[in-house]
Structure formats: structure tokens, C-alpha cells
Amino acid sequence: MSNELYAVVGHPINHSKSPRIHSLFAKHTGEPVEYTAIQAPLDGFAATVHQFFDSGGKGLNITVPFKEQAWALADLRETRAEKAGAANTLYQNREGQLVADNTDGQGLVRDLTINHGVQLKGARILILGAGGAVRGVLGPLLEQQPACLTIANRTVAKAEALATLFADEADVTRLNACGFETPDQPFDIIINGTSASLLGDLPPLCTNVIAAGTVVYDMMYSLQTTTFNQWALDNGAVRVFDGLGMLIEQAAESFLVWRGVQPDTARVIDALRND
Ligand code: ATR
């Protein structure tokens, strides 16, 4: 059988790990998948997507800075993409309509619960940031029914807007918004969804938010411990994780959407950790 074509679209795209991840999924599952990386011009995202599907491509992952454009371009959106306001997965349905999905939140939830054994139901969660990355994961996190979910952000109004947007989904969860300095009690789970680490910056949190049992999760990943996770370790956290598992789990969920086959993510996490 000849390979079917998939790709990730972003700008820049040369550092993307998606081709390596999906090639490993294809190898392990035996699915006839060829996966490449496409750098779309900043003003040419829609043309790039249409050209890809018109020439027989089967599915796309979308990354920075095009996730919101992918959402807007689609004819249909899966429920989890609708509320996220951004899409990381595109495909065409049988009628040729462009469908947008968002697997980021599922990726985070699976990495926390399955790979790290963290219980989200009933947990007290602090999430930092109120940009696209956080908006993309709030729905799937709330579905897990944490006891409370506090969104803290540098610009408090953006955290408040997200809390309002997701109020309907928070039926059993106390959902609230604040600035970084406000929380002063320990949380069960702290998730960093700001881009502060990219700049080597730290959100000015009170160290009381960390207790020995607190799970700290940075949605960023890097070969070295991230700036945020190092701060957490220095202030008493024992269990800190970076976002490599989330990256691989969101990819696996896209692969499942496209191919109907669930890849074994543990092997791929091991492979990438040792690259
Ligand atoms: P992304 O798609 O990665 O979420 P984004 O939508 O630009 O990108 O959001 C970036 C997030 O990181 C925001 O919550 C931003 O805070 P503001 O809403 O106040 O801008 C946060 N952020 C970026 N740089 C930061 C820094 N140096 N310190 C703290 N928060 C920062």
C-alpha cells in the first residue's frame, strides 16, 4: 500500500518534533503514514492548507502561530476544538469538508493521569497563564472534575475572561481567576501554561503554593529542567514534569483521529527523552 501523506504546518517549523513522533507511531503501528513538516508563509496559511488537501494530503497538525487561523478556516469543529478557540488538527471528512480538532487538552490530561498517575478528580489545581495554550486545555481539565481550578495570569482580566468563558463547564469545580501574587495556599497540581519560561522569566508566585506533595507540570519542555520546574524544585516540590509527554500524547490523539489506531506513547516518550 502506498503511504498516505500527513504534515505539521507552522512558522518556523524546523525544530518541530512532530515528524519524528509520527514516523515512530507509523513504524510501531505499521500504518502507511508519511509525515513531513511544512513552513507556511506568515500571510499564506490558508493557501498552504488548501494546496495540501487538494493534492491528496490526509491530515495536518497545526502549530504556532496558526492554531487560531486553523480554527477559523475549518467548515466544522469538534466540540473540544470549538471552545478552545484554536485547532491543532485538521482533516477532511467524507463530504470533503475541512474539520478542526484540538487534541492538546487530551494530551495534557493523558500525560498527567496515565503516564504520571496523577488524579485530577477532586484535585486543587492552579494553572498559570491565560493565552491560547491555557484556553486549549481548560475544557478537558474541567471534564476531569477537579475540586477547584484557579487561573492566575499577569493580566488578570484575561484570566477572568477565561473563567467566564468556561463557567458552564465548571459544574462541580470552583473556577476562579486572579493575579500571580494572590494564591497563598498549597495546591495539589500547578500547571505552567505561560510562555515566561521561554524568556527565562518566572511568574512571581508565593512559595506557599508548593507543598511536598504538589505535582508541578510545565507545559514547556527542554533538555534541561525548565526555569519554572527548577524554581519549584528549589522551593520544595518533589514531583515535577515537563511537557514532552503532553506533546507526544497530543500527537497520539491526532494519529487516533486520523487513523483510528492508538499508538503506544511510552515507547516514543522513551525514544525522544534519549535523543
Ligand atoms: P500561548 O499560545 O503560548 O498561550 P499567548 O496566547 O501569547 O501564547 O499567551 C502567553 C501567556 O504567557 C499569557 O498568559 C502571558 O501573560 P499576559 O496575558 O499577561 O500577556 C504569559 N506570559 C508571557 N510572558 C510572560 C512573562 N514574562 N511573565 C509572566 N507571564 C508571561
What pLDDT, in 10s, does the model give residues 138-178?
999 999 999 999 999 999 999 999 999 999 999 899 999 99
Contact by Cβ (8 Å): 151, 159: yes
**CATH architecture entry for 105-242:** 3-Layer(aba) Sandwich (3.40)
Please work out whether the CB of residue 196 comes within 6 Å of at least one atom of ligand 1.
Answer: yes
What is the side-by-side order of every strand in the sheet holding 174-178?
Answer: 174-178, 148-152, 124-128, 189-192, 215-218, 239-241
DSSP code for 167: G
Nearest residue (CA) to ligand 1, atom 10: 131
* Top-level class of domain 4-102+246-273: alpha beta
pLDDT at position 99: 98
Vertex 82 angle, CA 80 and 86, to 5°: 95
What is the side-by-side order of every strand in the sheet holding 89-92?
Answer: 33-39, 4-10, 59-62, 89-92, 98-101, 76-77
Please work out whether the CB of residue 131 comes within 6 Å of at least one atom of ligand 1.
Answer: yes
- Give the whole-angstrom CA distance, residue 9 versus residue 225: 27
Peptide bond before residue 12 is cis, with ω within 30 degrees of 0: yes
pLDDT at position 275: 85
- Please give the C-alpha separations between residue 75 and each of 70, 93, 100, 136, 231, in angstroms, as whole numbers: 10, 10, 8, 19, 43
The candidate with the shortest Cα–Cα distance to 70, out of 121, 117, 104, 110, is: 104
Q: From ligand 1's centre to the CA of 256, what distance in Å?
A: 30
Q: Nine-digit cell at 204? A: 512571581
- Give the whole-angstrom CA distance, residue 269 versus residue 48: 30
Q: What are phi and psi of 189, to 5 degrees?
A: -140, 135
Q: Nine-digit cell at 274? A: 534519549
Please work out whether the CB of residue 63 comes within 6 Å of at least one atom of ligand 1.
Answer: no
Nearest residue (CA) to ligand 1, atom 25: 196
pLDDT at position 223: 86
**Tens digits of residue pLDDT in 189-230:** 999 999 988 888 999 999 999 999 999 999 998 889 999 999
Kindly report each contact of residues 67-74 with a partner whose C-beta sits within 8 Å and lies 24 or more positions away, as own/partner: 67/132, 67/136, 68/132, 69/45, 70/45, 70/100, 71/100, 71/102, 73/45, 73/46, 73/49, 73/98, 73/100, 74/98, 74/99, 74/100
Query: Which value, to the nearest 10 degrees, does the dihedral of the CA atoms of residues 31, 36, 42, 48 take?
Result: -60
Atom of ligand 1 nearest to the CA of 203: 29
pTM: 0.96
pLDDT tier at 236, thresholds 50, 70, 90: very high
Portion of the chain with pLDDT greater than 90, in percent? 95
Contact by Cβ (8 Å): 217, 241: yes
pLDDT tier at 32, thresholds 50, 70, 90: very high
Contact by Cβ (8 Å): 152, 180: yes
Atom of ligand 1 nearest to the CA of 86: 2
Give the number of other Cβ atoms within 10 Å of residue 60's Cβ: 27
Q: What are phi and psi of 69, to 5 degrees?
A: -65, -35
Domains of the chain by residue range: 4-102+246-273, 105-242
- Give the whole-angstrom CA distance, residue 69 versus residue 72: 5
Q: How much is the average pLDDT of 257-270?
A: 98
